[in-house]
Amino acid sequence: MSLLISFLFSGITYIIKMCVGLIILMTYITIILLLYDFIYERSSSTNINILPEYTHIFVSCISLVAFHLISRQKEFIARVDYYWKRELKKKQENAKLTNETISRLVGNILPTHIVDIYMDNQLSNKLYYEEYSNVAVLFATILNFDIEVVGMRVLNEIICDFDGVLSTFKGVYKIEKIKVAGWTYMAACGLNTTGTGHRGSVERHSSTFSFALNFRRESVGEFADKEKGSANKQENLSELFGAAQDSEKASATSITRRRSVRMFNDEEEPIIDDDVVFVMARFGMSLLRAMSKFNKHNLYNDKDNPVNGDLRIGIANGPVMAGVVGLYKPHYDIWGNAVNMASRMDSTGVANTIQVTEETANILKQHEIKCRYRGITNVKGRGPTPTYFVDIDKHLKFRRTRTDETEPQSE
C-alpha cells in the first residue's frame, strides 16, 4: 500500500518515485527479516523450498518494478503529449501567420469583398465580375520626372505617399486603388458593397469555364442592394472648406447640401448615389497636397537645377463593370465609359488641376464645390466635349459656391 501511494503523485518524476519506493522496500525488508520474522515463518507458502518471508520480499520487489514501469510509461506519454501539443500550437500559429500574410497580400491585389470570396474558394474555375450603377474614377499622372534620371526611388516614395492618403478613405466611402501604370495612379470610389447604406445597385456574376476550347458561362447569382432609409433628414453639418486636414479626417468632414443627408457616419446610414463623386474630389485634392508636400521635402532634387513634380488629375463618374482577370496572378480592373472619360480628363488636363466632365461638375456643384468652365475640349473617342476645372485656391482648398449660383453653361 505504501509503494502504491508513493507512485500515485503524478507531478513527481519517476526517478524520485523509484528512490522513495526503494526506501520503502528496504524498510519493509528490514522489518520482515529483523523484527517480525516469527510472524512470516508461520505463514503459508506456495513453494516449500522458499521461506515465506522471502516470498513476501519477492512479491514486494515485483510490485515495485511494476509500479516503476507504469509510472515511467505514464510520464513518457505525458511528455510526448506535451511535445505534440506544443508542436501543434506552433504549427497553428505559423498557419495563422501564413493565412494573415496571404490575406494581406491578396488584399493588396483585390478588394476586400473579392478577397473573402477567393479565400472561401467560391471562385474555383469561375469568372467573376460586378456591375455598378455609379462609380467615380480618378486618374492622376505625375509630371516632370524621368524614370531614367531620378530612378524608381522617387516614383516609389510618391506612390507610397498616395497610398497613405488612400488609407484614410475607408468605410462606406472607401476608395480602391486599381493600379499604377507608369507615372499614372488610378483609383475608384463606389466599389465597396459591404456597407448597409449602399450607394447604388450592384449586380454580381460568376461564370464557370472549362480549360478546353469550349467556354460555358453560367450565371450563379444576381442581386441588388437597394438604398434604405429615411428621406430628408435635416442635419447641420460642419463645413469642409477652410479645413487643412481634410485627408486625415475623411470620415468626419462634410458640408451642408441642398439634399440633406448624413454624409460621414461610422454607423453607415443611407447615403445618396452621387456622394462618391464628392469623396473622389476630396481624394484628388489630398493627392495635390501630398504632391506639394513631397516637393518641399524632396531630398533628391539637384540644388543647381531643382525639378518639382506636378500632378495632373482627371475625374469622371458613371456605370462601370469590375471584375477579376486571369487565373494566375489575378488582376482586378474596371471597365466602362467612366473609366475612359476619366483617362481623357487626365490626358487633356493641366498640371496641378483637377479636370472633370460636365456631369461630374454638376454633382460637385450640388456639394457647393465651385467648378470653372474650361471650354470645349477635343476628347479622343468623344469629339468636342465641355469640360470643367475644379476651382482650387492657392492653399489647395476648394472654392465654395452658393447653391443658387449658376456657372457658365457649356456651348
pTM for this one? 0.63
389: nearest Cα among 358, 343, 411: 358
Please calculate the CA angle 196-197-202 and round it to the nearest 5 degrees: 90
* pLDDT value of residue 198: 38
Q: Which of 81-85, 142-146, 259-263 is predicted most confidently? A: 81-85
Q: How confident is the model at residue 152 (pLDDT cuts 50, 70, 90)?
A: confident
Torsions phi, psi for 96 (to 5 deg): -65, -45
Beta strand 353-357 pairing with 310-325: parallel
Q: For 116-390, give the CATH class.
A: alpha beta
Average pLDDT score over residue span 375-393: 91
Average pLDDT score over residue span 354-372: 93
What percent of the chain clears pLDDT 90, i.e. is strictly above it? Answer: 34
Burial state string for 25-38 with b = 16 or more CB within 10 A and e = fewer than 16: beebbeebeeeeee
The string of pLDDT tens digits covering residues 198-222 is 334 455 555 543 332 232 233 323 3
What are the sequence ranges of the domains in the chain?
A: 2-107, 116-390
**DSSP code of residue 400:** B
Element of type H or E holding 17: helix 14-30
The string of pLDDT tens digits covering residues 23-72 is 777 777 777 667 666 666 666 666 666 666 666 677 778 777 787 787 78
* Greater pLDDT, 39 or 331: 331
